[in-house]
Structure 1
């Protein structure tokens, strides 16, 4: 049995309605519909949304239970409050500048890199251009954009320069030293 699937979802500040296999939600930030597979059913009790199995004795469908509960939880949480992923740029002269729907990065290469932002994603960049906050109502999309930005210049272990997540710890390596004889 799924331990994740058993937990109910709070629907405070979000309007939720169930229409067969469709869960319709509308919050202050976003609205949408999540379609459950046929092996799951949703029930709304007060301000708690519960997802359960149609046939609890069928073990092959329990894997969908926890997955769809997590997906619905993220969608409802995103409609209530946007998700934020913080990215830091470390390095002399490394920075990002927001120009319309693109971020122009200077990352020590011989050229600048233009990164186009997808729809439903906004970016906040501080005045130094080294602290970037990716904001979206979709948790996956916010994390995906932050990862794609990080992949432009991965952090290197000797100097620690590159792009990293704000909470990421870079394990530094010792450089070459002159050996004693």
Structure 2
């Protein structure tokens, strides 16, 4: 059985959850998120506690879906109450970023600046020209956007230049050994 799937989700006071046969909508102070549900899982809401139950507890794939949907719903509830943030750091000489509207302009060593258009659900702000702070209520879209921005210039292992997550550690390699 899924240990994560068995955990109940406490629904905060400010969050409203509406459930139909095939979708779940979470509405809170930060915004509104919805997701279609798999027919192999059931959702029960009683006394501000949400539980996810499998239709067939003997099937391993259904039990895995129970844990998946429990985690997805918990991320939705957290997103509409607190929101999520992801920080990217630019490391390198002359590397900088700026935000203009819903576009992040990245100067990361290419001959021309890279214009990265943000999805509607994600907002960005730049601090110190080298720190991009992305925020959203949808954790999935936020992580995908951060990964796509990082992919513009991933960190390289010799000098550590590139775009990296704030909690990422780059293990540097030794350069070419000097010949005798």
TM-score normalised over the length of structure 2: 0.91
Aligned equivalent of 2:72: 71
Aligned equivalent of 2:157: 157
Cα distance in 2 for partners of 1:108, 1:33 equals 39
SS in structure 1 opposite 2:4? coil
Aligned pair in 2 of structure 1 residues 154, 59: CA closer, same or farther (>3 Å)?
A: closer
Structure 1 contact 21–41 (Cα < 8 Å) conserved: no
Cα distance in 2 for partners of 1:6, 1:84 equals 27
Aligned equivalent of 1:143: 143
Aligned equivalent of 1:133: 133
Cα distance in 2 for partners of 1:33, 1:176 equals 52
Using the TM superposition, give the Cα deviation of residue 140 of structure 1 relative to its aligned residue in structure 2, in angstroms: 0.9
Structure 1 contact 15–26 (Cα < 8 Å) conserved: yes
Is residue 53 of structure 2 the alignment partner of residue 48 of structure 1? no
SS in structure 1 opposite 2:134? strand
Using the TM superposition, give the Cα deviation of residue 30 of structure 1 relative to its aligned residue in structure 2, in angstroms: 1.5
Aligned equivalent of 1:95: 96
Structure 1 contact 21–42 (Cα < 8 Å) conserved: no
Using the TM superposition, give the Cα deviation of residue 56 of structure 1 relative to its aligned residue in structure 2, in angstroms: 2.9
Structure 2 contact 55–62 (Cα < 8 Å) conserved: no
Structure 1 contact 18–43 (Cα < 8 Å) conserved: no
> CA RMSD of the aligned region, Å?
1.7
How many residues align? The count is 179
* Ranges in structure 2 where 5+ consecutive residues have no aligned partner: none
SS in structure 2 opposite 1:4? helix
Aligned equivalent of 1:108: 109
SS in structure 1 opposite 2:5? coil
Aligned pair in 2 of structure 1 residues 95, 36: CA closer, same or farther (>3 Å)?
A: same
Aligned equivalent of 1:169: 169
